Structure 1
């Protein structure tokens, strides 16, 4: 009995030991095989860092306002007899636009004219009698006062009559009529809008930190979201106070609008051009990876692969970034001219990873290279970057 039990225990121990040994042996072999495997180099896009000419700018959103634009209002109550304009008509200064019933004023003007004629005749007779010495001086003074009163009454009636005839205060494009013939209107009622579209103002706001960069006469460029409108202009006004609620400063610029594409109230992208800076280190925004620990860039170093000289290694460096312009971002610290950096494919990289440069395929904006591109402006004022040595185009950004 004891012998059989002993043999069973020995056999069980051998089985368990074999299982443990096999598991340990398998893990050792797997580790040995994996340890000898070298991962294939990761294909990446790369770019050499060179100093560039930086064209800084202040980006903002603005609203178009016509240099001359008003809502035309009724000056006197009454029935409308004539509407002498149509929608979107080009009108000239002084052109009659509306006629309100003025029969009562015309009758009053005729009565005032007759009263003035009578007062002048009475004054003339009183003056003749006074000159002959048979008339009192007070009679002449009364007659002359009546003349002035009659003239004032005539001027008052004429003013009321003029208010029945509404004219354009300046040349421009008139809007949709808001009144109809036969409609009774009262003073202050809007009957149309008149806009001079040849020159436009653009109102926008900038943060208080950028007040020092603004100056009267400074160049600005504007672009609309629709219609393809682009223009350059000048700053004509800077509000001398900061809004305590938003900490923003209101700015006004003026641009030309000869084609009439820009309309009042339209949304605009505004860029304020600032002086150029030489020797700035700027890289594609896709090259910078941001995390809670900071911003990093992968720099390509020389590899140790003797069999394939195209295989390189990367080093992950922390950098300090600054301003952004278009698809470029300024690097203040961490990079120097001549460094070769990874511009796409870094999501598969780690410190010391093996890479192989392949610039044959570039990431297009449609694939997400520039998720928030800066709106284009006219070439004269569009902030961006270009090499200091020659006006070469920027390399295409990559992932």
Structure 2
């Protein structure tokens, strides 16, 4: 045999052997891959804590102000010159105390004339009545005499009222907050004379957002705290039936008996309205999450160890946590690992002995330990 034929035979045998060796290893590799597919994957680990709802007082916090019971501006009803003043501004007035007095001018003379005219008309009416009895005066003429008497009486009354209005008095017990005139000033009807503030009781006012107005009613307790630390309590006495078209808020007023003589009105105040009691959960802010629609939610685990989400609303915030509503009274909360699982995922829950309140620090440390363990054993899932 030639040398070239021997080389060809050797190469052919080697090629056949290589092909046969590949065909034998393929079923073996396929069986290995199939067995790998059949092996169950390990579940993700999360820490959970059973939490119970607590009964709390639900409060609505607003910004409001303190107002007086009444604030009115006294204006002149007749013309005249100011001849006398009452107490100085800032003084307390009783009902019917003098504020301003105007000159009566010729009003007394006109009153004297009107009274004389009245006596004449009365005499004519009496004489006419006697003539009427003797049929010496017509009925229409006697009716005219009666009308003349009534007209004269009205003229006298008009001048008496005008004279009475020259003496401006306090319509109720009040504080003279401002006086706009001095002795010698000439005033006309409608000119402002003084500004009065009734401090017999105090009004706590605030604007309530429309989403809360349905929960308010007359008689609910309202508390107001001023910047100087002073507090006032009252009961809702008025709820507006119509919203402010610009802000869509409703004005409410609470009446507070002003036993301490609170005389600095118009101050801002933090207003708290008690809406009643309800059950809520107190959690740390790091446990809150946002869904795809931007709604706050909290993640937990159901009875089948699957992740569930519950939308929540914030009732109020405190230094050590946030009070939430929307969760069931009993809820199995994910305290560590909620950021790595989604709703419907099956997980392996681990009881969190530290509790939800210490979740923030424990989550960081647990994630660090999980990261270290994943580097040591890459085949084992990370425990969150």
TM-score with structure 1 length normalisation?
0.62
Residues 319 and 335 in structure 1, CA contact (< 8 A), matched pair in contact too? no
Q: What residue in structure 2 maps to residue 311 of structure 1? A: none
2:162 aligned to which of 160, 176, 182: 160
Deviation at 1:197, TM superposition (A): 1.1
Deviation at 1:166, TM superposition (A): 1.1
The question of 1:323 aligning with 2:323 is answered no
Question: Whole-Å Cα distance in 2 between the matches of residues 256 and 102 of structure 1?
Answer: 41
Deviation at 1:324, TM superposition (A): 4.2
**Residues 338 and 179 of structure 1, relative CA distance in 2, 3 Å threshold:** farther
Deviation at 1:153, TM superposition (A): 0.9
User: What SS does the aligned partner of 2:106 have?
Assistant: helix
**Residues 343 and 145 of structure 1, relative CA distance in 2, 3 Å threshold:** same
**Residues 203 and 115 of structure 1, relative CA distance in 2, 3 Å threshold:** same
Residues 64 and 267 in structure 1, CA contact (< 8 A), matched pair in contact too? yes
Q: What residue in structure 2 maps to residue 238 of structure 1? A: 239
Residues 208 and 249 in structure 1, CA contact (< 8 A), matched pair in contact too? yes
Deviation at 1:267, TM superposition (A): 1.4
**Residues 139 and 284 of structure 1, relative CA distance in 2, 3 Å threshold:** same
* Larger-Rg structure: 2
Question: Any unmatched runs of 5+ in structure 2?
Answer: 1-49, 299-308, 335-351, 370-384
Matches within 5 A, 1:1-399: 51-226=53-228, 228-261=229-262, 263-278=264-279, 280-283=280-283, 322-325=313-316, 327=318, 328-331=321-324, 335=333, 340-341=355-356, 346=361, 349=364, 352-353=367-368
Question: Any unmatched runs of 5+ in structure 1?
Answer: 1-47, 298-317, 355-399
Please identify which structure carries the higher helix content. Answer: 2
Question: Whole-Å Cα distance in 1 between the matches of residues 91 and 170 of structure 2?
Answer: 12
Deviation at 1:180, TM superposition (A): 0.3
Deviation at 1:72, TM superposition (A): 1.5
**Residues 80 and 123 of structure 1, relative CA distance in 2, 3 Å threshold:** same
User: What SS does the aligned partner of 2:179 have?
Assistant: coil
RMSD: 3.7
**Residues 73 and 346 of structure 1, relative CA distance in 2, 3 Å threshold:** farther
Deviation at 1:207, TM superposition (A): 1.5
**Residues 339 and 243 of structure 1, relative CA distance in 2, 3 Å threshold:** farther
**How many residues align structurally?**
288
**Residues 284 and 221 of structure 1, relative CA distance in 2, 3 Å threshold:** farther
Residues 64 and 201 in structure 1, CA contact (< 8 A), matched pair in contact too? yes
